[in-house]
Amino acid sequence: MNYAGKGVRAVEGIIDLVITFVILWIVASFAGQTTESGFNLTGAPALIGVVISIVYFVVMEALLGATVGKLLLKLRVVREDGSPIGWRESIVRNVLRIVDGFAFYLVGFIVVCVTAKQQRIGDLAAGSVVVKTA
């Protein structure tokens, strides 16, 4: 398998970060927590925004094997044997995104750098890998 490298995964992550930002901004708008310089989500609206963001990742990867960022860069999340991931793998890898995301994804980046298949903690727990499709 052709595992996705750190650089392409970083670019894909930035694309999905922009989508997550938009989701959070929409939630902030509905909650009346926007400011002149952006938004300031707190309390229940912040929790709702985080949950919706995780749902974005889970649903996209369970149904398509990829988020928008991965689709644009021709990447897919698959099981370690190359077969498509299912709901279980998608939920596990994306709930653990919270751990991987500590310190601006430094934890996930370090784990990707030291694993042979360039997996983050979520991938290791789910038995998944990110591969190039083209």
DSSP 64-97: HSS-HHHHHTTEEEEETTSSBP-HHHHHHHHHTH
Q: Is 53 helix (H, G, I), strand (E, B) or coil?
A: helix
Residues 34-71: pLDDT tens digits? 999 999 999 999 999 999 999 999 999 999 999 999 99
Answer yes or no: is pLDDT of 104 > 90. no
Domains of the chain, by residue range, sit at 6-132
E-assigned strand segments in the chain = 34-35, 38-39, 75-79, 128-132
The mean pLDDT value of the chain amounts to 96
Answer yes or no: is pLDDT of 134 > 90. no
Two tokens at 92? 């596990």
Two tokens at 14? 């930035």
CA separation for the pair 92, 55 (Å, rounded): 12
pTM of the model: 0.94
